[in-house]
Amino acid sequence: MTSRTPLPPSPAELARLHEDVVTWFASAARDLPWRRGVSPWAVMVSELMLQQTPVARVMPVYEAWMDRWPTPAALAADPPGEAVRAWGRLGYPRRALRLHAAATAIVADHGGQVPRERDALLSLPGVGDYTAAAIISFAFSGRAVVMDTNIRRVFARVVSGVQFPATAVTAAERELATALVPDHVPHVWAAATMELGALVCTARSPRCQECPVAELCGWRAAGYPAHEGPARRGQSWEGTDRQCRGRLMAVLRDAVTAVPKASLDVVWPDVQQRERCLDTLVADGLVEPVDADSFALPGHR
């Protein structure tokens, strides 16, 4: 078992939980560019960039992106390969293609404005349940159940009394998260719990002595029981297809013209792996064959 059946706090405990977390956030929140009263488009860009990517790596790419493409229309007017190029080394570059496709859909179907309705958001490329909820909350100050990794870990520890949540979101977990959303400033609650998980209730070295809700924490009260589920392993990198794909993409991003196949061949010694990775990049729409022996980013002119 990875968790016990979570029960929502009592009304008094819930009120205290809301007050303590929101009060802590008012003084502890990081000054991040996507929190500075920006447009819904800026929030959407930040959310896709932040998926599985640390804040420090995202910030310079985000700021350059928004300087170049401050609106969906600006991005949609450029070829998708330019989005991939600007994505740089953030990883998972298909997110750049999805952002470009979403910008194109926003211009075509929503008058160039990011929609605020959940169903409309879910219809956009690259937008799933989490991203739609985050846009509703952070861009429009709406009431939504935002459940990223940090938030889920905070709720697992404070309310459910376990070290980590289940690998995938369960119905019981979502029901609990819904019950925890306050009627007042729900968007602040979402941002505050996310920040608490990122800065204090971290995965590997939680700083419980700095936690504003340590006295309410079920995991602390239970004596910090160890995780009982499958071992949580980090992702390998060296020698993987992801590393190979990254090497190939780096050559294509840095080129202003189509790249001869020979220039790609020299960046990875394993011929079979290199060919397989190039094929998957083409299949994913991240690379286009220009002719029989050269390649470029999509939308090559």
Dist CA 216 CA 157 (whole Å): 10
- For the CA atoms of the chain, what is the radius of gyration? 22
Give the number of other CB atoms < 10 A from CB of residue 18.
23
Tokens of 283: 């299949």
What is the spatial distance between Cα 216 and Cα 131, in angstroms, rounded to a whole number? 29
Catalytic residue set: 47
As beta bridge partners, residue 289 has 295
Taking the alpha carbons of 291, 296, 298, 301 in that order, is the dihedral positive or negative? negative
Q: What is the DSSP letter of 136?
A: I
Tell me the two tokens of residue 11: 């009304």
Tokens of 270: 């394993």
Taking the C-alpha atoms of residue 155 and residue 174, their distance in angstroms, rounded to an integer, is: 10
